[in-house]
Structure 1
Amino acid sequence: MFPLPFRALATVPVLAVAVLLVSCSASPKLPANAGDAGAVNPSATPSSARPVDVTKLDACTILMQADAETLIGTKLTEPQRASNSDVASCTYPGDPNGPTAQVEIYIGDGAKQQLDIDKDKLQHAFTQPAGLGDEAWQEDGMIWARTGSTWVSIRIVTLDDAAGFVVPLQTAMATALGRL
């Protein structure tokens, strides 16, 4: 049918696809030293909190509009709600006439995926605020916390200096965790 060299060449793409599939299924590795953003807090004790069913959760009840407005320091418009099998979210947009402002909360595995992307792929700089859930991470304009197996993230969009939102983000996260 086909000469032997042609059959050998035809198997190369098949082998390449197999190698790619195996390598893509491997788990990403976190940086080894504690100075890296990916270091996990070994002293974090898992809580006994029950997992949250995000398909039935209204994230806007976990971080309410008044909380979001206090966090960002300006009036926000009506929230936009969304949920699917891995995340429940609520977005509070700012007034289209300004100032630039938006507050978002995500609850579920999607929140953890955000953290993994920022840590592993984008290698952002993080701090670990104390006293928020079983594990917490913070970067400019965003905070994550885990209670039990449930992840929560809160993100702000603003043109103001991110340093002014470190404590307000932590306060908003404490409020949100208290309502889970």
Structure 2
Amino acid sequence: MVHTRGRTGSGDRRRRRAPAGVPVAALLLLALQGCQEPAAGDAGGKPSASPTGGTGGAGGTAGDPCALVTRAEAERLAGTALGPGRDLEGTCTYVAPASGPTAQVEVFAGEPGKNYYDAERGLGHELKPLEGIGDEAWLEDGSVFLRASGQWVAIRLVRNEEPSRFDRPLEELARTVAGRL
């Protein structure tokens, strides 16, 4: 009689490796977790001062990213219909319906906007300065960053088209948003 021994999961010594992008994604996730606004009991329920000296919610506008960029403006930027904005901790996301073309507009207000800007600079992405918009404004493929009245806002457009096609609409939307701050 021959005895055979089956392999169990504990005897399998093969190593599994995480995909190469996981460490970068994990770092970005950790960085964005630091962007959360304090709880009501912390710092009087107000956002902390930004590195540039302003507050994320001064005037109430930067505290509501869906008010900074309306659905109609997001649709004009994306060139397609989008669903209503979903506001989550300093960000607002407008997403195209599954039946339409791929499109998404994301608005990052206050600290999330500043952190997104810092991350792009830290990664060495080429940012083009935009003159006459707020205190400062920068454009890169598919995104615009601006600071006005000490408040940061970043707007990102996701489309599967040539990003430079959207440079002018991003710049125009940045001017509109800067006027609201």
- TM-score band w.r.t. shorter chain: 0.5 to 0.7
Q: Residue 158 of structure 2 corresponds to which residue in structure 1?
A: 157
Query: For the Cα contact (< 8 Å) 2:130–2:138, is it kept in 1?
Result: yes
Conserved 8 A contact 1:92-1:104: yes
Alpha-carbon distance in 2 for matches of 1:50, 1:155: 22
SS of structure 1 residue aligned to 2:92: strand
For 1:66, the aligned partner's letter is A
Structure 1 partner of 2:79? 73
Cα separation, 1, equivalents of 2:81 and 2:104 = 10
- For the Cα contact (< 8 Å) 1:89–1:105, is it kept in 2? yes
After TM superposition, the score normalised by the length of structure 2 is 0.65
* Residue 98 of structure 1, CA deviation: 2.5
**Residues 71-150 of structure 1 mapped to structure 2, 5 A cutoff:** 71-83=77-89, 88-120=90-122, 122-150=123-151
Point out where structure 1 has 5 or more consecutive residues left out of the alignment: 1-48
Q: What's the secondary structure of 1:102's corresponding residue? A: strand
Q: CA RMSD in A?
A: 1.7
Cα deviation 1:48-83 (Å, max 9, x = unaligned): x964427x6221111000000011100001211112
Letter in 2 for 1:141: G
- Please, what TM-score do these two structures have when normalized by structure 1? 0.66
What is the number of residues matched between the two proteins?
126
* 8 Å CA contact 1:128, 1:138 repeated in 2: yes
2-side partners of 1:95 and 1:135: how far apart?
A: 34
Show CA shifts across 1:100-127 (max 9, x none).
000011111221111111111x111110
Indicate conservation of the 8 Å contact 1:50/1:148, yes or no: yes
Checking the alignment, whether the CA contact within 8 Å between 1:51 and 1:148 is kept in structure 2 is: no
Alignment check: 8 A CA contact 2:77 2:166 kept: yes
C-alpha distance in structure 2 between counterparts of 1:176 and 1:96, whole Å: 28
Contact 2:56–2:152 (CA<8 Å) still a contact in 1?
Answer: no
Partner of 1:42: none
CA distance in 2, matches of 1:123, 1:52: 25
Percent identity, aligned pairs only, is 37
Aligned to 1:18: none
Which amino acid in structure 1 is aligned with residue 105 of structure 2?
A: V
Write the letter of the residue equivalent to 2:124. Answer: Q
Number of the residue aligned with 1:59: 65
Question: Is contact 1:140–1:163 with CA below 8 Å preserved after alignment?
Answer: yes
Give a deviation string over 1:114-172, Cα, whole Å, max 9, x none. Answer: 1111111x111110011111111111000000113210100000001111100100111
Q: Which amino acid aligns with 1:102?
A: Q
SS at 2:132 equivalent: coil
Q: In the alignment, what sits opposite 2:174?
A: 173
CA distance in 1, matches of 2:138, 2:126: 10
Q: Which runs of 4+ in 1 moved over 4 A?
A: none
